[in-house]
Structure 1
Amino acid sequence: MTLLRANILFVAANLLHTADHQRQGTAGLRWEILAGGSAITIAAIASLVLAWRKDERAPIFGAVLGLSAAAGIAASHLAPHWSAFSDSYPEIHADATSWVVVLLEIAGALLLAAVAVRELRRASNGAPRAAVVAGSGRST
């Protein structure tokens, strides 16, 4: 799986989740939920653009986005109500479609994080390492 493909899958899952919110109706959602979801969508598109351009920052951006999005989406939708960022699916009795879509988005975020971390590890394994000159305490 490439970083670009993982980004495409995450953006698709994110847009599907957004469409599901529209299907459910957004009248009962607090502005914090709408802002948080919008921020994830904007970051997902930015991550996709970075990966498409093969920008050297794409792996770190994807890793941070994937982990934080998975945590934020899970906290918002899977956990019981805990803050203004809560849209607890168990408490609103979300239907099966909504559950499948939100779990797909969380899985997509975790996949993005895993692929991005793999890319970071590859880059660090191929990076030149400084040699320490014996006894001098200097690196070359």
Structure 2
Amino acid sequence: MTETAPDSTLRATTAVFAVALLVHGADHLRRGMDATSALVNALGTLQLLFALLTVILVLRRRQEAARAAVFIGFASAVGFTIVHVLPDWFGPLSDSFINAPASSGVTGFSWFAALFEITADLAIAFAGLSVLRSRQLSVA
């Protein structure tokens, strides 16, 4: 398969996405895994597994990579926004940084990590959409 500009963009965006995963994960480790509920930890672990699968698919230049990028990108952006950016409306599904208690360990780095992750999530999703769109145009 011939490399296209959207494919190159997806690979570059995936590298940034992988860094964002590491930064966000580092903040969770810094804060301690007990700072979040078991539900948030379980969903975060599931997200991480799908994210790693997506990174592998992109690096291996698999046909499914673009769809995986769209799925994990948009799902993660919505999930992290609900968990970290919105007020504590969702009970055990919330690790809100808004008015977080001191015991939660939320710092400016936490905000940076979450917003970096959300931005990278959206970037990989849109890069995946671009690849899918380019494939449709090349078929037509």
TM-score, normalised with respect to structure 2: 0.86
Q: Distance in 2 between matches of 1:83 and 1:126?
A: 47
Q: Which runs of 4+ in 1 moved over 6 A?
A: none
Q: Distance in 2 between matches of 1:27 and 1:61?
A: 30
Q: CA deviation at 1:2?
A: 1.9
Aligned partner of residue 24 in structure 2, secondary structure:
helix
Which one has the bigger helix percentage?
Answer: 2
Where does the alignment leave 5 or more consecutive residues of structure 2 unmatched? 1-7
Q: Distance in 2 between matches of 1:69 and 1:28?
A: 20
Q: Distance in 1 between matches of 2:19 and 2:44?
A: 14
**What does residue range 40-55 of structure 1 map to in structure 2 within 5 Å?**
40-55=47-62
Residue 91 of structure 1: aligned partner: 99
Q: Distance in 1 between matches of 2:99 and 2:73?
A: 26
Residue 125 of structure 2: aligned partner: 113
Of structures 1 and 2, the larger Rg is shown by 1
Where does the alignment leave 5 or more consecutive residues of structure 1 unmatched? 129-140
**What does residue range 24-43 of structure 1 map to in structure 2 within 5 Å?**
24-43=31-50
TM-score, normalised with respect to structure 1: 0.86
Of 66, 72, 83, 2:79 maps to 72
Q: % of aligned pairs identical?
A: 27
The number of residues matched between the two structures is 128
CA-based RMSD: 1.3
